[in-house]
Amino acid sequence: MDTVHIFDTTLRDGEQSPGFSMNREEKLLLARQLEQLGVDTIEAGFPIASPGDLEAVRAVASEIKECRVAALARARQEDVDAALRGIEAAAKPRLHVFLATSDLHLKHKLRLSRSEALEQIARMVRFGAAHCEEVEFSAEDASRSDIDYLCQVASAAAEAGATIINLPDTVGYSTPEEYAEIFRRVRACLSDYPDVMLSAHCHNDLGLAVANSLAAIGAGARQIECTINGIGERAGNASLEEIVVALHVRQALYGAGTNVSLEKIYSTSRLLTSITGVSVPPNKAIVGANAFAHEAGIHQDGILKNPLTYEIIVPEKVGVPARRLVLGKHSGRNALRARLEELGYETTDAELAECYGMAIARADAAKQVSDRDLLTIIHHVRRGALSPSRESSAATAS
């Protein structure tokens, strides 16, 4: 089975999104957790951005030993110098150099010709390779770049010493089929550099970041750049937890796995939430509050009989303490009986029927039925069963 390397950019691309900025101590705290999670590379920051970011990168680089620590730099001398200063103490340093390659960016943002950009890429990658043991080059806006020119760029970067070539879908524009084809074309043009690893970095503007990342894996990418909880610029980056779990669940399809400890996914997600104060949506895959919650009676019945009927992975596998059977107006009697048993009450069929009617009425009024509601209901039903009128009725009937 092939290994897909996980390049976590939560501390860099993730914190660039509004509301997610982290200070030095917060970056260190999350970096320690990412190391325990088992990511292969931590992109610690963009050192040229500010003295504080440089200091945070230096702190992460000094402490993290088990995985690579990368620093981002534009293909400019001052950026590269700052990045190299940031990772000089790293046990496993990586310099990450980028330059846009789409005509749109070259013309309107950089004011560079294709040949000028090509020369700048080769020069900065070559300089970086002379001062750092590992260099990655990213062709910003690769998915909107001319494919023939993109192949020229990839070849030039590889010749200059880059051992990882990243082909980002910077604005989330691509579709899985298109993105996979880019990787196939670039892989073919790098036939003279078989050891160069291709990497994918996808944004979620059209909700396709994870799908595009998986398509890239299918087309030969062996590094995926992603973030915890999918945070990042605009609509975010590809979600680390979704990619890792998808590869685990569909291992037979992709023939690839990761070094990530699945059991630490949920705690890592919660740590990021506590640091930033921004919660994930309840319907967020893998780590959302509803990811392992079931309300529909048919689903609850299936889960009680065999969890595989409605769960493709057990919650404990990704560190979620347990699944939840939510009692609401769509719930069934089996789920109600199971929850009452968990609360310590075994019910007769008659008691269950009465409890069910009351629970559904409560759900219609309040949307969900809490454990306190259930206790009130079961006590009411049992008090009613012992009331004088019922005892009299029972005697008359006998």
pLDDT per position as a tens digit, 7-45: 999 999 999 888 899 999 999 999 999 999 999 999 999
Q: Would 260 be classed as within a structural domain? A: yes
- Last residue within a domain, chosen from 229, 248, 276: 276
pLDDT per position as a tens digit, 45-68: 999 999 999 999 999 999 999 999
314 shares a domain with 239 = no
Q: How far apart, in whole angstroms, are the C-alpha atoms of residue 201 and residue 10?
A: 12
- In the chain, how many domains are there? 2
Residue 359 has pLDDT above 70, yes or no: yes
- Please tell me the least confidently modeled range out of 98-112, 138-152, 259-273, 287-301: 287-301
> Mean pLDDT score of the chain, rounded to an integer?
94
Sorting pLDDT into bands at 50, 70 and 90, what band is 388?
Answer: low
The CATH number that applies at residue 139 is 3.20.20.70
Residue 251 has pLDDT above 50, yes or no: yes
pLDDT above 70: percentage of residues in the chain: 96
As a three-state string, the secondary structure of 291-304 is CCEECCHHHHHHHH
Structural domain that includes position 317:
296-388
pLDDT per position as a tens digit, 281-334: 999 999 999 999 888 888 988 988 999 999 999 999 999 988 887 788 888 898
For position 386, what pLDDT does the model report? 61
Q: Would 285 be classed as within a structural domain? A: no
214 shares a domain with 83 = yes
Sorting pLDDT into bands at 50, 70 and 90, what band is 395?
Answer: very low
Q: How far apart, in whole angstroms, are the C-alpha atoms of residue 240 and residue 31?
A: 15
pLDDT, mean of residues 213-222: 98
User: 176 CB contacts (<8 Å, ≥6 apart)?
Assistant: 208, 211, 212, 214, 215
358 shares a domain with 229 = no
Q: Would 281 be classed as within a structural domain? A: no
Q: For residue 200, what are the β-bridge partners?
A: 224
For position 255, what pLDDT does the model report? 96
Q: Would 289 be classed as within a structural domain? A: no
Residues in the chain: 398
Q: Output b/e per residue, 44-77; b: 16+ Cβ within 10 A.
A: bbbbbeeeebbbbbbbbbeebeebbbbbbbbbee
Residue 396 has pLDDT above 80, yes or no: no
For position 394, what pLDDT does the model report? 40
Phi/psi of residue 41, nearest 5 degrees: -140, 135
For position 393, what pLDDT does the model report? 43
For position 194, what pLDDT does the model report? 97
Q: What angle do helix axes 51-63 and 24-37 make, rounded to 10 degrees?
A: 30
Contact yes or no for 55/71 (Cβ under 8 A): no
DSSP-derived secondary structure letter, 69: E
Q: Would 290 be classed as within a structural domain? A: no
322 shares a domain with 272 = no
- Please tell me the least confidently modeled range out of 166-170, 183-187, 263-267, 383-387: 383-387
104 shares a domain with 52 = yes
362 shares a domain with 247 = no
Q: Would 308 be classed as within a structural domain? A: yes
175 shares a domain with 74 = yes
Q: Would 284 be classed as within a structural domain? A: no
259 shares a domain with 117 = yes
